Structure 1
Amino acid sequence: MELIVRGRNIEITEAIEAYARKRIARLERFLPTISQAELELAQENTRSRDQRQIAQLTLRMTPGLLLRAEERHADLLAAIDLVVDKMERRIERFKGRREGRARAGMEETAPAAIGETEEGGRIVKIKRFEVTAMTPEEAIEQMELLGHDFFIFYNPETASINVVYRRRDGHYGLIQPELA
């Protein structure tokens, strides 16, 4: 597993990188298909001192699947611990869903990475990503694994790009755009 450690508004020392490598290496025991782990450490100036250090961990697996987790804490090492623990829980949930699908005899496909755009009064970020064909149920699963509120995917049943999203009532919605 390749590990990339990046810093934003923070200097990554050898000690911090060694600590992160040690903690993240444990994840490979839970999920041997991890090809790359990317840890982004950041510091934000917020009013809440216990939310200033941010650790975001993204795991890339061989069939093109992504898992992502983010945690905030006052201490950088504690934020790393929290994000690794959160990722362990996500891996367990992911493995449970895969086993459930295998038992049900469903075919497994490789979901795509999701891109995010930040909205405001103007476009401030553009992100490109590959879209993989999948069912709406698989798109919901990938959305949950990434911890997002929406997910864009190619639906082969409708031969179009679709969006699934989490509704406030806890259910999911499916958007199927049509040209006017």
Structure 2
Amino acid sequence: MKLLIHGRNLELTPSLREYTQSKLEKAIHHFDGIVQEADVHLSIAKNPSVPQQIAEVTVFANGTVIRAQERSQNLYASIDLVATKLCRQLRKYKERHSDHHHSHGHSASLTPTTEAVVEDKAIDSSLIQGKEAHLPTPGIRRKYFSMPPMSTEQARHQLDLIDHDFYMFKEIETQQLQVIYRRTHGGYGIIQAKDED
């Protein structure tokens, strides 16, 4: 497994790096065949009135992104908490993709690896030719990712894995963008564009 550890607003000491690596390897060792890469971001919030030390881990498991984040007043405690959370999420992911949840004669389909998807779709033109660089408006962060069509149930599972309050996806039947979110009082909601008459 490839493990990348980054630090923000802190010195990434050898002991901190070793502790992080040890905790994550322990959390992931049962899922060696699933996890190809883990990206860890450790940071200390600059706000002195709210001392928060954050550990965030993004894991790439058979082409699926699984994310966990924890914060506390101690970075080592945050690392412990995020390792435990990540282990739980990987267990959920593995249980959902194991054969014992399917009826006899059926098996779970494997999600293709990132390499397989990238190799299938070669880029034959320049992505920057004829385009002008513009800086984004301050305070807006953009993220780009592939959006394969999926069912609402698949989107709900993805939402559970990424540790966010919402997940945007392309609905498989209508090919429309939709957002699934966790409702404050339990359950889930869907936001979708209304057809204009």
Taking a change above 3 Å as real, the CA distance of residues 133 and 10 of structure 1, as seen in their structure-2 partners, is same
Give the stretch that moved more between structures: 81-90 or 122-131.
Answer: 122-131
Q: Are the equivalent residues in 2 in contact too, given 1:38–1:57 (CA < 8 A)?
A: yes
In 2, the alpha carbon distance for the partners of 1:56 and 1:149 equals: 16
Taking a change above 3 Å as real, the CA distance of residues 164 and 109 of structure 1, as seen in their structure-2 partners, is farther
SS at match of 1:54: strand
SS at match of 1:28: helix
The percentage of aligned residue pairs carrying the same residue is 32
Q: Deviations over 1:60-115 (max 9, x none)?
A: 112x111111111222222111110111122222223334884255855749xxxx
TM-score norm. by structure 2 comes to 0.75
Aligned runs of 1:10-49 on 2, under 5 Å? 10-32=10-32, 33-44=34-45, 45-49=47-51
Residues 1:162 and 2:178 aligned together:
yes
Question: What is the RMSD computed on CA atoms of the aligned residues?
Answer: 2.5
Taking a change above 3 Å as real, the CA distance of residues 16 and 162 of structure 1, as seen in their structure-2 partners, is same
In 2, the alpha carbon distance for the partners of 1:92 and 1:100 equals: 14
Q: Are the equivalent residues in 2 in contact too, given 1:109–1:134 (CA < 8 A)?
A: no
Give the stretch that moved more between structures: 83-92 or 136-145.
Answer: 83-92
Aligned runs of 1:1-180 on 2, under 5 Å? 1-32=1-32, 33-44=34-45, 45-49=47-51, 52-62=52-62, 64-99=63-98, 102-104=101-103, 108=109, 110=111, 124-178=140-194, 180=196
Where structure 2 has 5 or more consecutive residues not aligned to the other structure, the ranges are 113-137
Where structure 1 has 5 or more consecutive residues not aligned to the other structure, the ranges are 112-121
Mark the structure with the bigger radius of gyration: 2
In 2, the alpha carbon distance for the partners of 1:93 and 1:165 equals: 19
Taking a change above 3 Å as real, the CA distance of residues 169 and 77 of structure 1, as seen in their structure-2 partners, is closer
Q: Deviations over 1:153-180 (max 9, x none)?
A: 1222112222212222312222332564
TM-score norm. by structure 1 comes to 0.81
In 2, the alpha carbon distance for the partners of 1:106 and 1:153 equals: 25
Q: Are the equivalent residues in 1 in contact too, given 2:98–2:108 (CA < 8 A)?
A: no
Cα displacement (A) at 1:135: 0.7
Aligned to 1:118: none
Which residue type is aligned with residue 161 of structure 1? L
